[in-house]
Chains A and B, each alone.
Chain A
Amino acid sequence: MSERIREKLQILADAAKYDVSCSSSGSNRKNHNKGLGDTGNGICHTYTEDGRCVSLLKILLTNFCIYDCAYCVTRKSNDIQRTAFTVQEVVDLTINFYRRNYIEGLFLSSGIFKNADYTMERLVRVAKKLRTEHKFNGYIHLKSIPGASDELMHEAGLYADRLSVNIEIPTEQGLKLLAPDKDRKDMIQPMNYLKEEIIQNREEKKLFKKAPLFAPAGQSTQMIIGASRETDKDIMFTANSFYRNFNLKRVYYSGYVPISNDSRLPGLSSAVPTIRENRLYQTDWLLRFYGFKVQEIVNNDHPNLDLDIDPKLGWALRNLHEFPLDINKADLHLILRVPGIGLQSAHKIVEARRFQRLNWEHLKKIGVALNRARYFITCNSSQFERKNYSESQIKQFILASSQSKHLKSITPQLSLF
């Protein structure tokens, strides 16, 4: 018995690992019933050797699937071992892992077997059992299966903290090419339904405190990067429209890991585009926290992000006329635009300068990356970069003074033969 469950876990964890969403935050499900679990800011309980956090028990209910999407390991035509958990097995694993403080909760996804409703119904059953029979207040993230009925989707929202539909391919043409049986509209439909339900629930909550929770941690989605020939502009414009139109909490970007020798996809020996992925996340942060508009970072003149410098530095170099900024006077929203100054440093600067004028030493101690920031700011000091450096000069200086962790993979390797 124990060998069988071990084997199932191995197969179904393997199949689920390409879904990068790991967040267990954003919900506020408190332990009022003297039950098990309490949900707050989210905790990463461990990290795998690839450096990704493990916060949830992330598994598929089954890896049987009726679809044949080229980019997916569980595609119908792939010759792999297939298996399925029972509802009870998933519940037991979740409870026992949670009690040992291994995880924050469950992230349950599934291959599509029979049809959408049949699959969704089983996912919901797991969540319902955890919540009602085990008084489980941990985090539950369920996949919303495109095409499932509104009733099931509604029920899912009552038990889950977060729901997500993966859009997977950023452009419609790409999706047609790689997953001909899938339709973008079917993916958007549940997202739209849930958005409306969530808004309605928030309104009810304002009126009656006791109104039931409905997906308190909202929705998220994921896009695979580098599987079809999309530009960074395509990706970020899509992401931006999801944030705006569907109130998504997060969009995840997942560098394509080669899993197939399908001619429509990058070959098996190609590297995972981790740097590009990193630059996309940086851009995502600039949009959500730094007040940038998507067109400022990527546009028709710059459809792709620079790999060798971060997107904020790239923007600053293209807009040298906006600098230098006086750190002791400039508004917070402008300070946030300076390369090398993060959210926390920016806030500290604005607080600290009320007590005294800040100089280079202060900025360094506060945590500003001066090797980048110093070309764009002035402070309480007679020393500053006064020469009129050009865009490319500044870039050269910064690259020379920093040891990018990515440098090795950016510089094309010299081949000996």
Chain B
Amino acid sequence: MVNLTYDGSWYGFLSAVFEVYEKKFSLVSILKEAFYLPEAFAGRYEVATNKLKAERVWNGLLKHLPVSSCKNIYCCYLSEIPGIENTLLKFIQLAFSTKEAEKAFANPAVLKVSQVAKMVHRERHRMEAFVRFKLTKDNIYFAEIEPDFNVLPLVTEHFRKRYADQKWLIYDLRRKYGIYYNLESVEEITFASTEDWNTKGESSVFEESEELYQSLWKDYFQHVNIQERKNTKLHLRHVPKRYWKYLVEKGV
């Protein structure tokens, strides 16, 4: 048994897959360096991230799988679920050895990949829906999020296309990075400290009209509701409580 550790990056993971084939490892487990604990009866192999090797794996996958299934692999990687690398490895091995492997839903790895990818897609979709921009004084539409999975790379295109004529910034507080659109392109950014805007209070950071539009949105949300049809269970299923913190209309 060998533990393959990689740096946690997407190219790192693909490089690890490459090593499995090159070194002909059979009993193997891939995990992030950060999660590695020495084990008595297992060796360790540290994978060096190598862009060329990673791209060879990726191009190989594109030859053996439809694009949608390749994207699913990337989504599963973004889920950051412990152990997902090993499910992905099984799936990739199956894909390289069997035709149309992505359709063998009775295989546990195939089913798991399709299910986890679906979870990630759902979270991505939720972020496209639940991001709430606030207009700052320097004319940037700013939003904070704490998604379950690392979905910022998946929503970039959506927001870039949609808000092409306004500057915007979405910051993932859990993973401590954000994406910023400067009217030309989207770049990844990190803040040295998040205290800046938290301590100053809303009024000094945000544009004057911001408060009015937030109240208008809250009013609208209240008044479009039909009391006679109240259905809290359904409401909670669609808008789970963990997202309320950043939803203007739920106003926590």
Residues of A at the B interface (CB closer than 8 Å) are 2, 5-6, 9-10, 13-14, 16-18, 30-31, 34-38, 43-54, 57-58, 93, 96-97, 99-102, 135, 255, 257-258, 271-272, 274, 348, 351-352, 354-356, 358, 362, 365-366, 405
Asked whether B223 lies within 8 Å of A13 as measured between CB atoms, the reply is: yes
* B73-105, CB < 8 A from A: 100, 103-105
Does the CB pair B224–A54 fall under 8 Å?
A: yes
Provide the bound-state CA to CA distance between A36 and B165, in Å.
6
A351-B103 contact in complex given A46-B247, A46-B249, A50-B235, C-beta closer than 8 Å: yes
Q: Does A9 contact B216, Cβ atoms closer than 8 Å?
A: yes
User: Which residue of chain B lies nearest to A5 when distances are taken between CB atoms in the complex?
Assistant: B216
CB distance from A81 to the nearest CB of B (A): 13
Cβ of A101 to closest chain B Cβ, rounded Å: 5
In the complex, A96 Cα to B217 Cα: how many Å?
A: 10
B61 proximal to A (CB < 8 A): no
In contact, B220 and A272 (Cβ under 8 angstroms): no
Contact of A16 with B224 at beta-carbon distance under 8 Å, contacts A36-B166, A50-B230, A356-B106 already known? yes
Would B239 and A46 count as touching, CB distance under 8 A? yes
Residues of chain A within 8 A of B249, CB atoms compared: 46, 102
The answer on a CB contact under 8 Å between A352 and B230 is no
Q: Does B10 have its Cβ within 8 Å of any Cβ on chain A? A: no
Q: Is B23 an interface residue (CB 8 A)?
A: no
Q: Point out residues on B near A: beta carbons under 8 Å.
A: 100, 103-107, 111, 125, 128-135, 141, 143, 158, 161-166, 209, 212-213, 215-217, 219-235, 237-239, 247-249
Assembly CA distance A338 to B33 (angstroms)? 48
Q: How far is the CA of A101 from the CA of B133 in the complex (A)?
A: 6
Establish whether residues B229 and A43, one from each chain, have CB atoms under 8 Å apart when the complex forms: no
CB contacts (< 8 Å) of A351 on chain B: these are: 103-105
Main secondary structure of the interface of B (DSSP, over half): helix
**A35 near B226: Cβ-Cβ < 8 Å:** no
Q: Which residues of B contact A30 (CB under 8 A)?
A: 161
A130→B216 CA distance, assembly (Å): 20
Contact of B224 among A58, A99, A366 (CB under 8 A): A58
Task: Tell me if B224 and A47 are in contact (CB < 8 A).
Answer: no
In the complex, which residue of chain A has the Cβ closest to the Cβ of B223?
Answer: A13
B165 close to A96 (CB less than 8 A): no
A44 adjacent to B238 (CB under 8 Å): yes
Chain A residues within an 8 Å CB radius of B132: 100-102
- Write the nearest CB–CB distance from A100 to chain B, whole angstroms: 5
Assembled-state Cα–Cα distance A46/B220 (Å): 12
Q: Which chain B residues border A18 with CB–CB below 8 Å?
A: 226
Closest residue on chain A to residue B108 by CB atoms: A365
Residues of A within 8 A of B225 (CB): 17, 48-50
CB distance from A163 to the nearest CB of B (A): 21
Is A274 a contact partner of B125 (Cβ separation < 8 A)? Answer: no
- Which residue, of A53, A58, A97, A355, has the highest number of chain B Cβ atoms within 10 A? A355
11 example contacts (A-B, Cβ-Cβ < 8 A) are as follows A10-B222, A34-B165, A44-B129, A46-B130, A47-B238, A51-B238, A96-B213, A99-B133, A101-B143, A102-B217, A351-B103
